[in-house]
Homo-oligomer: A and B are copies of this chain.
Amino acid sequence: MTDLGDVASALRQQAIELPSWAFGNSGTRFKVFARAGVPRTPQEKIADAAQVHRYTGIAPSVALHIPWDTVEDYSALAAHARDLGVRVGAINSNVFQDDDYMLGSVTHPDAKVRRKALDHLLACVDIMDATGSTDLKLWFSDGTNYPGQDDIRARQDRLSEALTAVRDRLGEGQRFLLEYKLFEPAFYTTDVPDWGTAYAHCVKLGDKAQVVVDTGHHAPGTNIEFIVAFLMREGKLGGFDFNSRFYADDDLMVGAADPFQLFRIMYEVVRGGGHLPSSGIAFMLDQCHNIEPKIPGQIRSVLNVQEATAKALMVDAGALEAAQLAGDVLGANAVLMDAYNTDVRPFLADLRAGQGLDPDPMAAFARSGYQERIDAERVGGQQAGWGA
């Protein structure tokens, strides 16, 4: 039997990291729809993120994206975050939005471009030093669009060289998280297309190199929880970029497209002890609220992860193992499904009440008047988005 006190205890320790860019405008190549109240500055993004933490209690950090969140004084930005009750999380590098990067960044055929890209990555480590961030997120859009365009193998050599240089620059308690992605924006090859590629590089580079799983970056049919379980067994799962998808890298709210998949992923996390902060696994959101309001979209997403985690924690581990070892296919499946089919919302409402939070974060935020205030106040200036 599952001990609900243990479940509550684990849930109270849960921490989900918010991406600063989720509060800015986003869209598709067809159109970015602007929305009232959208932040103009990194400070405003952090303020919005702090609202999510205020109502959920489990979103204490905010990932930055450089250069979208470039500021003069990063220590001041970190202090600003602390003042609002949150902290700066992972630093996300960006080597895909400069004209120089059209044919790649760290894997570009031209050494000058590679150097420029590497310098940016190293500068991101400087920001880690300044903000106290421990994680450097590396996503490379590098790849090719046409067969023959560049040499697949040479690009791996270049990638390896860059990763080694970054690893060597990282200080004590710092690490990089290497993200893989099947495709987009590259449409023929991507230089880190799958977990195997990320893993192979990270194994060679040691403990400061870990893999991050973005739940929207796989080929159709990929069993993500298998990858999660495998990487955890290898000690190489650094974290998640959570979002959900029906088709490609749709970047919808996590849990919106396939809540059962999210539950299965969280079950493997719990199975491997990864849900506790001591595991070092970073649970980050990375999604786009193209058509829904940003702050409520983030709250909803945090709640979706929380609900999936609660269900995963409620799996009767003893009964499950017994059925598995007995080869009882339907019985084992039933143990898992029993937890999934449980409505954990009342339990979570009680948990929040016990922590002095409103039992219903969505409603509480809606009532707060914050959205109306920023809609009114944030007039003029340049709204934040992917491009700025």
Contact = CB atoms under 8 A, between A and B. Distances in A.
B333 A149 contact: yes
A132 interface: no
Contact of A329 (B149, B221, B345): B149
Nearest to A32: B29
A221 B196 contact: no
B146 A333 contact: yes
Contact of A148 (B102, B218, B221, B335): B335
A200 B223 CA distance: 17
A36 to B, nearest CB: 11
Interface in A224-254: 225-227, 229-230, 232-234, 245-248, 250, 252-253
Interface string A176-213: 00000011110111100111110110010000000000
A341 interface: yes
Interface stretch (A13-21, A42-50, A289-297, A375-383): A289-297
Contacts of A85: none
A362 B334 contact: yes
Contacts of A222: 182, 194, 219
Contact of A27 (B29, B197, B234): B29
Interface residues of A, number: 105
A34 interface: yes
Contacts of A189: 223, 226
A335 to B, nearest CB: 6
A370 interface: no
Contacts of A52: none
A84 interface: no
Interface in A308-328: 320-321, 323-327
Interface stretch (A59-67, A116-124, A258-266): A258-266
B196 A196 contact: yes
A73 interface: no
A325 B110 CA distance: 7
Interface string A360-376: 00100000000000000
Nearest to A100: B33
Contacts of A271: 151-153
A221 B183 CA distance: 9
Interface string A146-160: 111111110011000
A114 interface: no
A1 interface: no
B324 A151 contact: yes
Nearest to A343: B343
A300 interface: yes
A257 interface: yes
A252 B145 contact: yes
A230 B153 CA distance: 7
18 contacts: A26-B29, A145-B291, A145-B329, A146-B330, A146-B333, A148-B334, A148-B337, A151-B324, A152-B230, A153-B229, A153-B233, A183-B247, A187-B246, A196-B199, A199-B199, A200-B230, A256-B333, A330-B362
Given A28-B185, A218-B219, 5 more contacts: A146-B256, A146-B329, A148-B335, A219-B222, A291-B329
